[in-house]
Structure 1
Amino acid sequence: MAESLEELEDQMAEYRAAISVAKRRGDKALADQLRAELRAIVREYGRRLDEEEDEETGDAERPAPPGRPAELPAPSPPAPAPSRLAGGATPIREQAHQALTILEAPAGPKLIAATHEAFLSEAVITTRLGSLRRDEERSFVAQPFARPYYICPALSHDRLIPVRGLLAVSTWPLERRIMGPLGPRADFLTHAGSIARQIARMRAAGHEPALPAWALLRKFALNIPGAYEGTGMPDTARVIQAAEAEAAVHAEADEATRRSAADRARGELKDPARLLFGVRRTVDTERNAGPGKAG
């Protein structure tokens, strides 16, 4: 399906940000590859603008401006994004898996990209994450369990449909992939503790984390009572302790919701693909949604 103009604009912004990251890292090969892909997207954007203008004015056959040939060859379509970028960059599904393994709970594209860049010093094109889940589902349906893991969505606790924008790993327990009312905060605290533990492990192994890793931890710590005083680098042990203390307050209710939803999913969703990728927002959701839930 052709991207909308808004999606193309988002892609251009993402590519420009990734080029800046590559330049800061001194990775000229990757920066050149990204520039080539960006130029193709810009060409496609211009072509789509021309098409929309023609549709609005009904003047698709208007004569060419003076000094310009009436017939011009159609611009080349954008080159398909390769699964592996120049310079040996990691494929997008592996990038997502690496970041989610660090975070240990479902996360959105921006956090996945920030985590991967902070700990693995590699830019992630977040617009590619938007189509990754659909690609993974098609791959699974065509050949179930052919891969050691799949990137799949988090599932809503009530309707068992994909939660928009939240990605998880298929090898996680179903309970961890369920999102209930307390899920966003519970997973936020899990992310904070996991990032702190990753930094602590790196330091214990003699590898000082880069500044983006500390900045990421600081953003989380600022939103957890007692985790950070706002000066210097956060203390990893303190962040872990504060995150675990607050998580314990929500744990019983949150875990009960997840267990209940997971048990219901195992009983209702016999198809392994549905247990990973959820039910569709059509017949299944209308039938299973009670009063006030349909829509």
Structure 2
Amino acid sequence: MAASVEELEQRLTVLRARLRESRRAGDSTAGARIRKELREVEAEWEAALDAEESLQGSPAVTPPVQVEQWSPSLPGRGAVPVREQVYQSLTILGAPASPKLISSVYEAFFSESLVATKLASLRRDEERSFAVQGYSRPYYICAAINHDRLTAARGLLAVSVWSLEQRLITPLSPRADFLRHAIGTAEQIQRLGNAGNPPSEAAWRLLRRFALTIPGAYSESSRPDPERVLSAARAEAEVHRGEGSRERIDAARRAREQLSDVQQLFGARELHNALRSGGGVL
């Protein structure tokens, strides 16, 4: 069955976000692949729109404006797959995050809910899929990687198009990633406001939670000022930027040298698991 205009518009939104992320990661190969898919979906959108007009006899509709924001799913038009919900939330946050935060972000910016318990087996399912299909998908929901043992960081999800450096967890990562989450949330609220789509109260509550623990970000007004949050979060992030960079660079180099493609996305196996499955001994 051919996709509807609304479904294709949602796909276009997702592809544009993926393209933005690939450019941030400096991945020209992924960028070229996404641009090709974007052109194909745009052609499908045009064809679907023409077909809809021919059936309804309606006047031409202006193509959607390419605004860098997420368009909430329309009620009653089918649920968005869990992996795509997670991808959309992580793209807003811009750094590895827990299922609980991912769920909160999705519910704040989209019309559907995301039950955090549904994410329990997602990473394992994605790893199995990658082992079979390789890079055939535009992205995978993968693991954050511990910088020392190069194993999967417990309870943290990431996106495969991010660089290894972006997915690594160092001693300074909890605070640095928190600031990145705050920046991503504030930027998304700004995008929605600029596009004439008022953010939900849940989005404002989420931004307030971030602002409360960032020096200079919080005010006593009923709603936090996104620009104030951005300024304060970016200022603190700049202080942390150089402190963990060498650690991340060294860990990323070791990971690329020592790990397979699967392990670079989903982490090396814990030692006791490797011994148990391989029958090895110390």
Q: Does the alignment reach a TM-score above 0.5?
A: yes
- 1:1-295 equivalent positions in 2, closer than 5 A: 88-269=78-259, 271-282=260-271
Deviation at 1:86, TM superposition (A): 7.7
State the alpha-carbon separation in 2 of the partners of residues 110 and 284 from structure 1.
27
3-state SS in 1 of match to 2:158: strand
3-state SS in 2 of match to 1:154: strand
Deviation at 1:283, TM superposition (A): 6.1
Cα displacement string for residues 100-144 of structure 1 (whole angstroms, at most 9, x for unaligned residues): 001010000011000001001211121111100000000001121
For residue 177 of structure 2, what is the amino acid of its counterpart?
A: D
Deviation at 1:174, TM superposition (A): 0.8
State the alpha-carbon separation in 1 of the partners of residues 94 and 149 from structure 2.
23
Cα displacement string for residues 41-68 of structure 1 (whole angstroms, at most 9, x for unaligned residues): xxxxxxxxxxxxxxxxxxxxxxxxxxxx
Deviation at 1:230, TM superposition (A): 3.2
Cα displacement string for residues 61-108 of structure 1 (whole angstroms, at most 9, x for unaligned residues): xxxxxxxxxxxxxxxxxxxxxxxx985111100000000001010000
CA RMSD, Structure 1 to Structure 2 (Å): 1.7
State the alpha-carbon separation in 1 of the partners of residues 166 and 141 from structure 2.
14
For residue 281 of structure 1, what is the amino acid of its counterpart?
A: E
State the alpha-carbon separation in 2 of the partners of residues 227 and 121 from structure 1.
28
State the alpha-carbon separation in 2 of the partners of residues 263 and 230 from structure 1.
45
3-state SS in 1 of match to 2:121: helix
State the alpha-carbon separation in 2 of the partners of residues 165 and 204 from structure 1.
34
State the alpha-carbon separation in 2 of the partners of residues 166 and 152 from structure 1.
9
State the alpha-carbon separation in 2 of the partners of residues 249 and 203 from structure 1.
29
For residue 136 of structure 1, what is the amino acid of its counterpart?
A: E
For residue 201 of structure 1, what is the amino acid of its counterpart?
A: R
State the alpha-carbon separation in 2 of the partners of residues 278 and 119 from structure 1.
30
Deviates more, 1:85-94 or 1:215-224: 85-94
Q: Which has the larger radius of gyration?
A: 1
Identity across the alignment (%)? 55
State the alpha-carbon separation in 2 of the partners of residues 241 and 231 from structure 1.
17
CA contact (8 A) 1:175 1:259 kept: yes
3-state SS in 2 of match to 1:144: helix
Which is bigger in relative contact order (C-alpha 8 A, separation at least 6)?
2
State the alpha-carbon separation in 1 of the partners of residues 273 and 116 from structure 2.
30
| Structure 1 unaligned blocks of 5 or more | 1-84, 287-295
| Structure 2 unaligned blocks of 5 or more | 1-74, 276-282
Aligned length: 201
3-state SS in 2 of match to 1:149: coil
State the alpha-carbon separation in 2 of the partners of residues 206 and 218 from structure 1.
21
For residue 257 of structure 1, what is the amino acid of its counterpart?
A: E
State the alpha-carbon separation in 1 of the partners of residues 106 and 94 from structure 2.
13
Deviation at 1:231, TM superposition (A): 2.7
CA contact (8 A) 1:159 1:285 kept: no
State the alpha-carbon separation in 1 of the partners of residues 165 and 124 from structure 2.
22
For residue 168 of structure 2, what is the amino acid of its counterpart?
A: I
